[in-house]
Amino acid sequence: MKRITIVAALGVVMGLFATSAGADFKQERTLKLEPGGTFTLESDIGDVVMTGESASGARVLITSDKDLDRDYTVSFDETARGVTVKIKQRGALRRFLSGWFENDHTRITVQVPTKTDVRLSTSGGSVRVSRLTGVVDMHSSGGSLDVDAIEGNINGGTSGGSIRMRDVHGNIVANTSGGSITITDVRGGLRADTSGGGITIADVSGELRASTSGGSVDVRGAGGRVEASSSGGGVTVRFAPGNSSGGVVSSSGGSVHTEVDPAAKISIDATASGGSVRSDVPVTIQGKVEQDSLHGDMNGGGPLLRLRSSGGGVRIGATVRR
């Protein structure tokens, strides 16, 4: 009797999804959006790809291999301030079981005026944004974030993927709970945090903060003050020529390596509990000379550069001018 009940229940569940098999969904919509407006997307499904174009108006294309009309509510809202698009799933049972029975491929492609503020969130895929002038707020519960050619501040977060950003004129906040972070060419400040991967950063003009619990940190071309730390790997920070801003560089899972401009006016406080401290640049030592610590000034001193390692040694090298 129990077996018959289970089989019958499975038959009902399979019947719920059977009509989705092979179904193709496509919906296009052109909405009024002038330069300087705001575009908002809230979706329970799909990868998002957004690009800025010179023309006015927002063009939205939604494609899927599942029947979104049956399982989701798709709405479009136009106001004087901007456009809002929502794709919301119907029914708790389908939401719970969809991960077992469906391997959908849903894509939301959006074109907006170049000068647009955007707020994008998806629960089921990646987010890619390029060629915009405006504020970008982007979040995903299960995919990666990819950004290119943005003039404006960015706030990006994901619970299950990597983050890649490049060519940004503005400040960045980037955090992920499950992937690596790669960011290059930023004219502004940066804060990057990950719980599950390494961090690679190059050419940031402003203040920089980077931390990871599960990998290494590699920073090149730091133009401002740096705070970089890792609980699971080594940390390398190469300051740009002329940078005397100092900072804090630490690792509890590996060594610490910094490169500074030999002409920089900074004070150094370096300690290694898992190795030795070595400097390849001239430092006027203060106090007693010890193998596992170094305290002194470069070129008369200035902002403090604190270096800490409990999992390896500390090395201070010279920045190579290009």
Q: Cα 258–263–267 angle (5° rounding)?
A: 60
Distance (Å, whole) CA 4 – CA 12: 12
Which of 290, 210, 294 minimizes the C-alpha distance to 250? 210
- In tens digits, the chain (322 residues) has pLDDT values of 444 444 334 443 344 344 444 458 999 999 999 999 999 999 999 999 999 998 899 999 999 998 898 899 999 999 989 999 999 998 754 544 444 334 468 999 999 999 999 999 999 799 999 999 999 999 999 799 999 999 999 999 999 899 999 999 999 999 999 899 999 999 999 999 999 899 999 999 999 999 999 899 999 999 999 999 999 899 999 999 999 999 999 999 899 999 999 999 999 999 999 799 999 999 999 887 689 999 999 999 999 999 999 989 999 999 987 6
Which of 309, 301, 198, 320 minimizes the C-alpha distance to 244? 301
pTM of the model: 0.89
Of the candidates 103, 137, 161, which is a domain's last residue?
A: 161
Please check whether residues 42 and 139 belong to one and the same domain.
yes
Please check whether residues 177 and 318 belong to one and the same domain.
yes
Of the candidates 161, 183, 200, which is a domain's last residue?
A: 161
Please check whether residues 140 and 26 belong to one and the same domain.
yes
Please check whether residues 197 and 81 belong to one and the same domain.
no
pLDDT the model gives residue 100: 37
Q: 45-69 burial by CB neighbour count: b if 16+ within 10 A, else e?
A: bbbbbbbbeeeeebebebbbbbbbe
Distance (Å, whole) CA 89 – CA 118: 22
Q: Are 268 and 297 in contact (CB under 8 A)?
A: yes
Determine, yes or no, domain membership for 4.
no
Distance (Å, whole) CA 308 – CA 45: 44
Beta strands in 21-116 (DSSP E): 25-31, 38-43, 47-53, 58-64, 72-78, 82-89, 106-113
Question: What are the angstrom distances between the C-alpha of 93 and each of 31, 100, 105?
Answer: 33, 12, 20
Looking at the structure of the chain, the number of domains it has is 2
pLDDT the model gives residue 322: 63
pLDDT the model gives residue 169: 98
Q: Rounded to 10 degrees, what is the CA torsion of 130, 108, 121, 89?
A: 180
Please check whether residues 137 and 176 belong to one and the same domain.
no
Please check whether residues 179 and 319 belong to one and the same domain.
yes
Of the candidates 129, 161, 193, which is a domain's last residue?
A: 161
Please check whether residues 247 and 277 belong to one and the same domain.
yes
Please check whether residues 88 and 178 belong to one and the same domain.
no
Determine, yes or no, domain membership for 13.
no
pLDDT the model gives residue 104: 63
Please check whether residues 271 and 139 belong to one and the same domain.
no
Q: Rounded to 10 degrees, what is the CA torsion of 117, 121, 122, 125?
A: 60
Q: Going by C-beta distance under 8 Å and a sequence separation of 6 or more, which residues neighbour residue 64?
A: 24, 25, 26, 45, 46, 104, 105, 106, 107
Please check whether residues 128 and 228 belong to one and the same domain.
no
